[in-house]
Amino acid sequence: MKDNTNLQKETEYIHKGYQSTDHQDSLSVPLYQTSTFAFENAEQGARRFAGEEAGGVYSRLGNPTVRVLEERMAAMEHGEGALAFGSGMAAVSTILVHLTKSGDHILCTRGIYGCTFGFLNILKEKYNISHDLEVLTTEEEIEAAIKPNTVCIYIETPINPTMEIVDIALITKVAKKHGIRVVVDNTFSSPYLQNPLKLGADFVLHSATKYINGHGDVIAGIVVGKQKEEIEAIRFSVQKDFGGIISPFDAWLLIRGLKTLHVRMERHTKNAEEVLAYLKTVPSVENIYYPFDPNNPQYEIAKKQMSAGGGLISFTVKGGMKSAQKLMNELKLIKIAVSLGDAETLIQHPTTMTHSVVPEKERLEMGITDGLLRLSIGLENPIDLIEDLKQAISQL
C-alpha cells in the first residue's frame, strides 16, 4: 500500500502494513512458513544479529507475515508498535513481566479473566509481586488503592464476565500523577469499538482468539504500545526469551479475520441489541448486563469511550446454578462453549467454567454469581437466536 495517512479505519483493516510490490505483487499477504532466514554472507548475518541491518533472522524474532499483522494492529489501536503472541495469556504475562520486578505491586479492576487471576497469583507466590483487586470507579477510590510500590494498573473494560465499565480516562489521569503505567485488556470491545491508547493508556492487549480472528480457529494474543522503541525492546527481551510467539499461519489467519472486523462487529452489535430487547421481557431473567443498555448505571461512561455496545451480554436467571445449567442444556442452536467473538453464538457459565479458578469469596466480590450466564452473540439471524432462547427458558 502506498503511504497514505488519511485512510479511514475500515480501510486500514484491509490495507495497512502491506505493500504487494514487496511480495511479488501478491494481492493476499503471503504466508512465510519458515523458521529461519538465509544470509548472503557471514558479515550480513553478523549485522542483522547486531541490529545494524533490517531483515529476517529467525521467526521467533520476527517474520514477514507476522509483521504485517503487527503493523495493522498498531494502526488500528493508534499505537506505534505491536507484538503478536501465541495466546492471549502470553500477551498478558509478557506485558506484566516487562513492567514489574520482585517487590512491585499491580493494581487491578475488581473483575478480571480467570487465567489472568491465576497468573497474578503465580507472580505473587513465586516472585513477590503483589496485586489487589479493587473497585476503581472514582478518583478517590483509585488514589486510596495506589501503594508506594504500585507500578502498573491493569484493567479490563468491559470486565469479563460482568460487563462492568471502567473509566479509562479517569484511570490514566490518576496513574499519570504517580508515574504508573496503565494496561487495558480491550478484548471485549475490539479496536473497532474502543481505543484505550487514545484515552491515555500505555498498552492495550487483546486475546486475538476472539473478535480479531472472528472464526473460532486461532489461539493468539496482541499487545500494542505507545512507544515503538519499548515494543521492540520487549520483542528482543521478554518475548524472545519466554518464546510465546505466534505462528506465521495463525498470523495469516488473523490478517484474514481483520478484513471483516468492522462488518462483523456491526452485526454482532445489532444482534445483541435485539437479544437484549427480548431478555428484558423475560420474568425469569433477574439482571442483564450490557454496556449500551440505557438502564445500565455506567451507560454514560460506556458511551464516552465506546462507539457501540458490542456483542456480549451477561444475565442472571432465577434459581441460581441449577436454572443456569438447565437453560444451557435446553438450547438447540446456541452452543455451550467458552470463548467469544465467533460467528456462532456461544453461552457459558462463568462460575464453573472461565472463572472456576477464582475462589468463591473473590468470585462473588467480582459479581460472578451462580446464576450468571455470559452470552456471546454471533452472526446468525437474531430471530433464530431469540426463538432458541425462548424455548430453552420455557423449560425452567
Instruction: Show which residues are catalytic.
Output: 60, 113, 185, 210
Which of 23, 6, 163 shows the shortest CA–CA distance to 75? 6
Cell representation of residue 306: 465506546
> Residues 327, 396: contact at Cβ < 8 Å?
yes
d(CA 237, CA 306): 33
Other beta carbons within 10 Å of 365: 14
Cell representation of residue 99: 513492567
| CA 136 from centre of chain | 20
d(CA 173, CA 359): 32
d(CA 12, CA 17): 8
> Residues 172, 199: contact at Cβ < 8 Å?
yes
> Residues 107, 131: contact at Cβ < 8 Å?
yes
d(CA 226, CA 224): 7
Cα Rg for the chain, rounded, in angstroms? 21
Cell representation of residue 379: 452472526
Cell representation of residue 41: 554472507
Spell out the SS3 assignment of 72-89.
Answer: HHHHHCCCCEEEEECCHH
